[in-house]
Amino acid sequence: MGFRLAENEKDRYLSELLQSYHVFAPVAKAGKGAFSDTDVVGYGEIESFGDIVLDRKSHFSPKEVFYPVRETLFQFLKDEVLETTIDEKPLVVLVRPCDLNGVRRLDTIFLKNGQEVDTYYERRRKKVKFLMVECTEGFDTCFCVSMGSNVATDYDGALRFEEGSLLLDIKDPALATEILRDRPEADFQVEYIRENKVKVDAPPLEAVTKDLFDHDLWTEYTSRCIACGRCNTSCITCSCFTMQDVQVNDEKNLGERRRVWASCHIDGYSDMAGGHNFRKKHGEKMRFKTMHKVNDYHRRFGEHMCVGCGRCDDVCPEYISFSKCINKLNQIAKEVAQ
């Protein structure tokens, strides 16, 4: 159902939402930028629509809201194990279409990848509703259209900020607050970006052969990538984590188990029992990530894992472009096939 709210009604809708939900959106985090006295755009709780930053892409994706960077799973106290609880109040998260598609990729990994679901992810994820922000322009590094992620229709609500008003398309009645009741419906169809400046062609699955894995392409990244992991932490679809047992006394019987985001680019990620490591070079790690994003996941689940948000290109301190890497891989696949 479509609704139109006047400028002076927008924050009343938000304050009604806040009675039942925490509301998260991209906001400027003062002083948190890479350089001194600079901001970074990441997800935070809002109290007014004026808090939201939409003219810059968020460096961090919305996954940090319901898949925390560091999460205590349980605490152990002598012979007792105490499972942690979470805030029961549900969340509304404002996302762009690419990120909503990215959330579906995370859902697949955590909830539909085998017989067991990840209960720690599930308990948080069940509390989240998504208000999708219409996105028709994108940013310089976006390539969502190439990845088929520019359109998302499985939102709980969608919104368009217009000069002097807010248009809403509400699918989940729980997001239709008091101010929307008995209000005449407005005609609002969400529009989507249809062309990005960056265009990417991933190689077709049948063209991804051993030749591509062995190709010299990856040596470039051995010399350029510094294995900082920023591309992974900013990615909406990266889901890897590591476990940490943290003890707080000398007897090792008091402490907690945490899971913490991990990165396939960072040294130590590929360490195995016996001291083995089969991906030591940074180029090999880049190959692993690339193939995971546009090949392995695709073979298993029928679509690219990468949604083309372009954040990895935005944050890489070595100016490594993932979109260019995919295009190079495709070009090599064509040459190998000739």
- By CB under 6 A, name the binding residues for ligand SF4: 102, 225-231, 234-237, 265, 293, 306-312, 316-318, 320, 322
CB of 96 to ligand SF4, least distance (A): 11
The closest alpha carbon to 159, from 66, 236, 97, 103, belongs to 97
Shortest Cβ 126–ligand SF4 spacing (Å): 23
Q: How far is the CB of 112 from ligand SF4 (least distance, A)?
A: 18
Rounded Cα distance, 155 and 85, in Å: 27
Contact 85, 59 (CB under 8 A): no
Q: Which is nearer to ligand SF4, 135 or 180 (CB)?
A: 135
Q: Which is nearer to ligand SF4, 230 or 298 (CB)?
A: 230
Residue at token pair 């990538």: 225
Cα(294)–Cα(302) distance, rounded to whole angstroms? Answer: 10
Comparing CB distances to ligand SF4, the nearer of 1 and 151 is 151
Distance CA 3, CA 246 (A): 50
Task: Tell me how far apart the alpha carbons of residues 165 and 186 are, in angstroms, rounded to a whole number.
Answer: 12
Choose between 196 and 237: whose C-beta lies nearer to ligand SF4. Answer: 237
Q: Locate tokens 């495709």: which residue?
A: 330
CB of 314 to ligand SF4, least distance (A): 8
- Minimum distance, C-beta of residue 174 to ligand SF4, in the bound complex (Å): 29
- Residue recorded with tokens 């088929």: 148
Beta strands in the chain (DSSP E): 2-6, 22-29, 40-45, 70-77, 80-83, 91-95, 128-133, 157-162, 165-170, 241-247, 254-261
Nearer to ligand SF4, 10 or 290 (CB): 290
Between 31 and 317, whose beta carbon lies closer to ligand SF4?
317
Smallest gap from Cβ 305 to ligand SF4, in A, equals 7
